[in-house]
A = this chain, B = another copy of it.
Amino acid sequence: MDPTMAAPKELDSRPMNDGDGANSYSQNSSYQRGVVEGAKSVIFETIPEKLNINLPKTFQIADFGCSTGPNTFLAMQNLIEAVMLKYNQSTQKATTPEFHVFFNDHVDNDFNTLFKTLPSNRPYFAVGVPGSFHRQLFPQASLQIAHSSYALQWLSKVPPEVANKGSPAWNKGKIYCAGNEEEVTKAYFAQFKADTDAFLKARAQELVEGGLMVIQIPCVPNSEVLPSQIGAGLNSEFLGDSLADMVKMGVISEEKLDSFNLPLYLPCIEEVKMVIEMNKFFTIEKICTLSHPSNNNSTPLDIRRTCADVRAIKENLVKDHFGSENMDQLFDLLFQNYQKNQILFDKVARQDVYLFALLKRKGNI
């Protein structure tokens, strides 16, 4: 269970594990599936109500940060069903739309696997769009709905000051923004703000007036809670602990560890609101936190699966910094750290929430 998962998106960053083998994202993304399933009822309530555009004959939807599936297929299917509710309610009922669905991710994403696993009975024309979603990727006013699930928490880069020994924002002893150092948090939030603003500006170009934007992202439940106090943060915490174990074992140097940071930020709802309002192109139709469906489940969390999920998502980032030699050892240590902290992790992760936002493209401003 890793609520922080999805692919970093800039040219210099690494996507999730490709293919469909044992360590691949397509085989290790059960948490994200729960997020998609958890949002389904909210999608079905809000989309038909808030979609107030002339219903076109060709309805275009894009998923930004789709990775390799299968969750993106489920998310697109849910959106299409929600949109069809609207068509069936409307006076344009006679129009049966054709759906054109665009799957976007970084150019390094494994589109070959994505394409080979497309559902054969899909009710839409499928297309792949390679490139960073911090830039415009579509012609103007060409989309009716944009969707992004578990992608915007990944930053285009690690803020340089957190890896700089001389800076007050130096993130000594941590590999992520744990929330306990104000200067570190400030640097990370500034990057999150800049990236999310770039994302929203690009989508504002691509969406028609009145077009909708669905965003899902892991978050802290409120500004009082630190990232290190939620499951999504603990996943990074334990990965850092495992790397520290490798320093003690002499496998990697302390300096190497000190210069490693994840390009990842877990915001609170107020921060996300602030960025959207600052951006000015969208109205907020709904913003709330949702809890993961598995939180109501009383069976213990499957930490082996959590560990496999973390590997599918973060291995490429770790490899890029430390080299690929000791990955099996690292993820064995990570599993041991989950075992040691199983009771804590189980308690904390079950309270995790994620953010759901439905935005609407304003008229030209």
A residues bordering B, Cβ < 8 Å?
Answer: 57-58, 98, 100, 102, 107-108, 110-112, 115-116, 118, 125-131, 136-140, 142
Contact = CB atoms under 8 A, between A and B. Distances in A.
A127 B126 contact: no
Contacts of A140: 57-58, 98
B58 A139 contact: yes
Contacts of A100: 138-139, 142
B139 A118 contact: no
Contacts of A130: 115, 118, 126, 128
Given A98-B140, A100-B139, A142-B100, A116 B107 contact: yes
Contact of A115 (B57, B102, B111, B116): B111
18 contacts: A57-B139, A57-B140, A98-B140, A107-B118, A111-B111, A111-B112, A115-B128, A115-B130, A125-B129, A125-B137, A125-B138, A126-B129, A126-B131, A127-B127, A127-B128, A127-B129, A128-B129, A128-B130
Nearest to A116: B107
Nearest to A59: B139
Given A98-B139, A98-B140, 16 more contacts: A57-B140, A58-B140, A100-B142, A102-B127, A107-B115, A108-B116, A110-B112, A111-B128, A115-B128, A115-B130, A125-B136, A125-B138, A126-B129, A126-B131, A127-B129, A128-B128
Contacts of A131: 126
Nearest to A11: B120
A98 B130 CA distance: 17
A110 B116 CA distance: 11
A100 B252 CA distance: 47
Contacts of A128: 111, 115, 127-130
Contacts of A108: 116
Contacts of A102: 127
A142 B57 CA distance: 11
A138 B138 CA distance: 16
Contacts of A129: 125-128
Nearest to A124: B139
Contacts of A58: 139-140, 142
Contacts of A98: 139-140
A22 to B, nearest CB: 20
Contacts of A139: 57-58, 98, 100, 125
Contacts of A136: 125
Nearest to A113: B112
A116 B114 CA distance: 16
Q: Which 7 A-B pairs have the closest CB atoms?
A: A115-B130, A58-B139, A98-B139, A128-B128, A111-B111, A127-B127, A112-B112
A38 B108 CA distance: 33
A126 B102 CA distance: 11
Nearest to A130: B115
A130 to B, nearest CB: 4
A25 to B, nearest CB: 15
Contacts of A142: 58, 100
A199 to B, nearest CB: 17
Which of A110, A130, A131, A137 has the most chain B CB within a 10 Å cutoff? Answer: A130
